[in-house]
Each structure stands twice: as structure tokens, then as C-alpha cells.
Amino acid sequence: MLMLVLLAVGIFWLYRFNTALKATPEEARKFSPKRWTQEQLKEAYEHAQKHPIDFSKHVPPAQKRRYIIVGGSGLVGGDIVLHLLSRGQPPSSIRILDFAPLSRDDMLSSPAVTCDFVKTDITSAPSVTSAFSKPWPPSVSHLPLTVFHTAALIRPQDRHPLLYPLVSNVNLTGTLNILTTASQPHHNCDIFIATSSASVSILPPKFFPYYPWQSHPQSYFQLCNESDFSLPLRPHNKFFANYAVSKAAAERAICAANTPSFRTGCLRPGNAIYGQKTDPLVGNILRQGSYVAYVPQVIQSFISSQNVSLAHLQFEAALLPSSPTPPPCAGRPFVITDSGPPITFRDMALACETLSDAPFTYSELPPIVIHAIAHVMEFWSLLLARFPTLTKLGLKEPSGPIGMLQPAVLNVGIHSVVDDSNAKKGVGEGGIGYTPVVSTLEGIVRQIAEFNRDVRAGRVEGVKLREGIKEKVGMVGEEVRVVA
């Protein structure tokens, strides 16, 4: 009898917990009351096809300066390079520091290939020093230097201090190497801007204990702003993952280095960055052609990598040494996001399902199953970290999307909305004059349109057109999407 009662209580608890995890807190819904529809997506897609955006109109004017972009082969760094070129900075004034060579199609087919590229391991101080010390062409060598530091190693799945060195090497030691080198006066660097993350401010929600009368777990909705920056650094377990710990520490070091002659600042894009076929989110699921959503109903702010890049350039414009005293935006972080309302992961999946020309399947699992898998995966990865000899027996760290599914990812998979009102203020009012012109709807739809063009052109390895999609060539250079 007692067993039956316990069983019933257990089932009831699981049922309530599952329902609570699916809940959307009212505060979150207020920010994004409407879900995307197929009609809306198709309309936005058509609009995007007909109205390409000229980014060069939005970026601040060219400067007589030199540029070092650390992580310049990547998502945000690559966009910064392209935006700098589009506003007329000569390639000779741009140097890319990255571990990986250029690989983005849009970079390989642009003057970016003529920018100086220095293969750099930022975890090694000598490697960074030699990348900075390499001589510049005489036409630019006398100009002041701006450094954009965008390189990061993202392992959102780790939260245990045992695994901290995996991210802190690049994200903290690497950042300090760049900061120390850049601040040496002979490099003539007076502006240093780094990419941080809106997730720095996220506190792990309280999933346990869960009481059956709670409509959702505690702290299931959070606003991301910069208010944590003025408080002492939180202890490790008050961050969603090791990644955010390392980002927060790096941010503090960069902002503390701010002086009138070496002006610094950090940008916290939030939450997910999309924009390239190689990005870990939209690009990744388009290429994979399938997506199991871990937190389908969760409302989050997204940001296009192009808007992230734009914010870096606007921050630079704000920090230009036109006056001897730095503006109030110097030496602090700003959160930034797309314009328009935040979206859910299910919205993103619907966009891919509706618009991708490649095969795409979408599925969801009950949240308690997701949580159970996450704890098993974490147990597994910690077991291997504690007993490395197990790896010699051929046991491996869980990889792929399932390896990412650990409790830390669920810590950040909460309803979170970015409040970028500080960044949007004018420079005189303490902001950087951030102006995202396009919403997440337009941004994601444009990315899918580009992906479709790449698939048609055979530029996405291993991805073919979906059955039922025919190719039809319209006006010169323009492809028209036809669904049979």
C-alpha cells in the first residue's frame, strides 16, 4: 500500500515538474507574446530576397587607423573584417590573428584574402607577441591601432571547476596575453574592444528542490543587463557554466585596463549568435538537417553576428580619442541584441522547417527526459575527467549535440531577455549609440536564404536539395524558390 502511495506521489511530482519546465512565465511572455507563423516567415523570406541590405551604410565611417582582429576567421571576427573593408579601410591596414585559416565563402571571395593573416595561438604569450610585432606596411605603420578581440572557446556544457582549464586557457589566459601585449605603448594601440557574452549575468535557475505547487522553477525568467558588473564577481557556482566564469573574469580585466590613452570596453551579445552556415545554432541545424529542441518553448533574445560586428564598430567610434577624457562608455560592458521581439527555439525550428531547401526534421522530447539525459551525460564526462585512465580503455567524452546536453546548458536554456537600453543611449548619455536595424525574424530568414543559395550552388558539403524543391533560375544571378 505504502509503495503504491509513494509511486503515485512520485508520478505526480514528475508530471508537475514536466509541466513546470514547459511553462512560460508571464514576464517572459510579455516580451514576446506572438509566435512566428509559416505565412509570416514566407513573406519575410520573399521580402529578404527582394531587398538585400547594404551594411556599409550602417557602419560608422572609415578611420585612419590600423586594425587587429583576433578571431578574424570566425563568426563575429569575420563580420568585423568584412564591415571594415566595406567602409573603405584598405586591406593593408587590417591584420587577422586566428588559429584557423580563413574558410568562410564570403571572406574567401572578398578582399579579406589580401589582409595580413597571422596564425596565432593566443594561449601562448610568445605567439601573441610575435603576431603583434610583425612589421606593418609603411603606408599605415604610423597609424594608431584598434584591437577587436573576438576569439573564444565555447564549451557551454561544462560547469564543474575540474573542467575550468578547458575554457580558461583560451578565454582568460588568452585574453590576458592579448591585453598585456596590446597595452605595450610601442604598439600604439589606444582602443581595445572584446566580445563577451550576455550569459555572464545569468544565474543558474533553481530546478531543485521543485515543489509541485510552483508554476515554474525559480529564476526561470531573467533579464540580462550589466547590473552585475558593478557588484563583486560572483562565486563559480553562481554562473551558468565555466564558460561564463571565464568570460566574466576576462571582462573585468579588460575593463580595469581602461585608461585615457588605452580605452577599453566589452560587448555582451545575447543570447545566441547566428548568421553563418558554420555558426553553432541556426547554421548548424540547417547543415545537420535535423534538430531535437532541448528547450523548444523557451523565449530568448537572439542576435545576428552582423549586428554584433556593427556594435563593435559603433563602440570604436564612441571611444575615438577626439577628446582627452574618455566618454562614460569606456571601461565597461554593454549587452546587445537584435531589434524586434525575442523568439523561442520552436520559432527558429519552424523557420528552418518552412524555408530550408535542404531536408529538415524537427522533434521535441518531454523536458524531464531531457533533464535526465543531461545528468547522465554530465556524470559520464566527469567520470572521464576524474579517471582519465578510462579514456585509455577507449571510452570517449560524449560528442555531438548529445554531448552538449548537460545541466549547464539547461541552466542557460531559460527564458532570458536582453535589455540593451544602455548600449542604445547616445555616447554623451553613457552609451555607444547602438542601433540594430533589423529584427531576428529578418536576420534568420536572410540566413536561411543564403544557406539555400549555397545548397543550390553545391557549396554545403554533404547537403542536398530537399525532395520536391525544384531549381528555377530567374533573372540573371537570381534564383527563385519553387515548392512543387
Ligand X SMILES: *[C@@H]1O[C@H](CO)[C@@H](O)[C@H](O)[C@H]1NC(C)=O
Q: Find the part of the chain contacting ligand X (CB under 6 A) among 162-170, 175-183, 354-362, 450-458.
A: 162-170
469-473 and 479-483 beta bridge pairing? antiparallel
Among 131, 170, 349, 405, binds ligand X (CB under 6 A): 170
Among 442, 454, 455, 469, binds ligand X (CB under 6 A): 442
Rounded Cα distance, 191 and 326, in Å: 11
Cell of 155: 564549451
| Three-point CA angle 199, 152, 237, nearest 5° | 40
User: CB-wise, 55 or 210, nearer to ligand X?
Assistant: 55
> Within 56-95, which residues bind ligand X (CB under 6 A)?
58
User: CB-wise, 144 or 280, nearer to ligand X?
Assistant: 280
Least CB distance to ligand X at residue 164 (A) = 11
Q: Find the part of the chain contacting ligand X (CB under 6 A) among 283-291, 302-310, 359-367, 465-473.
A: 302-310
> Contact 97/68 with Cβ under 8 angstroms?
yes
If one asks whether residue 222 binds ligand X (CB under 6 A), the answer comes out as: yes
Among 116, 121, 353, 479, binds ligand X (CB under 6 A): 121
**Widest distance between CA atoms in the chain:** 88
User: CB-wise, 66 or 332, nearer to ligand X?
Assistant: 332
DSSP string covering 143-186: S-EEEEE------TT--SGGGHHHHHIIIIIIHHHHHHHHTSGG
Looking up cell 564570403, which residue turns up? 106
Least CB distance to ligand X at residue 280 (A) = 15
What is the CB-side half-sphere exposure of residue 187 using CA atoms within 13 A? 24
Among 62, 99, 210, 453, binds ligand X (CB under 6 A): 99
Identify the three-state secondary structure at position 224. strand
> Within 259-278, which residues bind ligand X (CB under 6 A)?
275
Rounded Cα distance, 297 and 384, in Å: 33
Q: How many residues bind ligand X (CB under 6 A)?
A: 27
Among 122, 358, 409, 414, binds ligand X (CB under 6 A): 122
> Contact 291/352 with Cβ under 8 angstroms?
yes
If one asks whether residue 27 binds ligand X (CB under 6 A), the answer comes out as: no
Q: Find the part of the chain contacting ligand X (CB under 6 A) among 163-171, 243-251, 343-351, 401-409.
A: 163-171
Least CB distance to ligand X at residue 372 (A) = 28
Rounded Cα distance, 368 and 16, in Å: 10
Rounded Cα distance, 91 and 34, in Å: 44
Detail the DSSP E strand segments found in 340-440: 343-344, 361-364, 415-418
Least CB distance to ligand X at residue 467 (A) = 29
If one asks whether residue 166 binds ligand X (CB under 6 A), the answer comes out as: yes
Q: Find the part of the chain contacting ligand X (CB under 6 A) among 102-110, 304-312, 374-382, 396-404.
A: 304-312
> Within 190-209, which residues bind ligand X (CB under 6 A)?
none
Contacts of 162 (CB under 8 A, 6+ apart): 382, 385, 386
Q: CA of 357: how far to CAs of 38, 321, 452, in Å?
A: 15, 48, 6
User: CB-wise, 123 or 288, nearer to ligand X?
Assistant: 123
Q: Find the part of the chain contacting ligand X (CB under 6 A) among 30-38, 121-129, 208-216, 381-389.
A: 121-129
User: CB-wise, 276 or 297, nearer to ligand X?
Assistant: 276
Among 93, 307, 314, 406, binds ligand X (CB under 6 A): 307
Convert 172-195 to b/e letters by CB count within 10 Å (16 or more is b).
Answer: bbbbbbbbebbbeeebebbbbbbb
Least CB distance to ligand X at residue 55 (A) = 5
Q: Find the part of the chain contacting ligand X (CB under 6 A) among 180-188, 223-231, 369-377, 464-472.
A: 223-231
Least CB distance to ligand X at residue 258 (A) = 22
> Contact 346/300 with Cβ under 8 angstroms?
no
Cell of 69: 582582429
Among 55, 164, 362, 380, binds ligand X (CB under 6 A): 55
Name the residue number minimizing CB distance to ligand X: 443
DSSP string covering 414-482: SEEEE--HHHHS-GGGTS------SBHHHHHHHHHHHHHHHHHTT-STT--PPTTEEEEE-STT-EEEE
Among 56, 114, 133, 227, binds ligand X (CB under 6 A): 227
Among 314, 443, 450, 455, binds ligand X (CB under 6 A): 443
> Within 392-421, which residues bind ligand X (CB under 6 A)?
419
Residues forming the site for ligand X (CB under 6 A): 53, 55, 58, 99, 121-123, 153, 166, 169-170, 222-223, 225, 227, 275, 304, 306-307, 310, 419, 436-438, 442-443, 446
